[in-house]
Amino acid sequence: MSEPIKYGPALLLPGDQIGITTNPNTEPFWLAAKEHRLTACQCGKCGHFRMPPSPYCPECSSQEVDWPTLPGTATVFSFAVCNKNPKDGADYIYVPVVVDIDGAPGARLNANVTGCDAEDVHIGMKVTVEWTPIQDDWVLPNFRKV
């Protein structure tokens, strides 16, 4: 039987390598992130959460939108362990995750996780938001193991 692979610490991608674009549907999320507030798009009529944000609620077709502040915790839904920096191909261990956001049933967010060894990340792991400065004075929500 072979030994489990040892990757080492899960790192965050360097913020200077990450840029975003916004549109009227996503800008409230990014503005909240600048204030270190995790939020998700919620229908102002039926309460359905949706991420990514869209102009119409997929449940009731309303265009009413709320952006509640959420607790900042989540659960890992899916993940991958990557060993190369996508920008330059250098050896670099990072773990992209899809998380279920606490307080926003059905809303999921793509991010990276840190605060543990890459091989310790697992589905169902509890994480808390961590704010990473990125290009153009924006802030990216990433997650750290609780």
Q: Could you give the angle at the alpha carbon of 140 between the alpha carbons of 82 and 20, nearest 5°?
A: 90
- 3-class DSSP state of 109: strand
- 3-class DSSP state of 127: strand
Neighbours of 40 (CB within 10 A): 24
- 3-class DSSP state of 96: strand
Quickly list DSSP for 32-78. HHHTT--B-EEETTT--EESS--SS-TTT----EE-PBP-SEEEEEE
Element containing residue 31 per DSSP (H, E): helix 27-34
* 89 touches 119 (CB < 8 A): no
Per-residue pLDDT tens for 13-61?
Answer: 999 999 999 999 999 999 999 999 999 999 999 999 999 999 999 999 9
Per-residue pLDDT tens for 90-123?
Answer: 999 999 999 999 999 999 999 999 999 999 999 9
pLDDT, position 50: 95
Q: What's the longest Cα–Cα distance across the chain?
A: 56
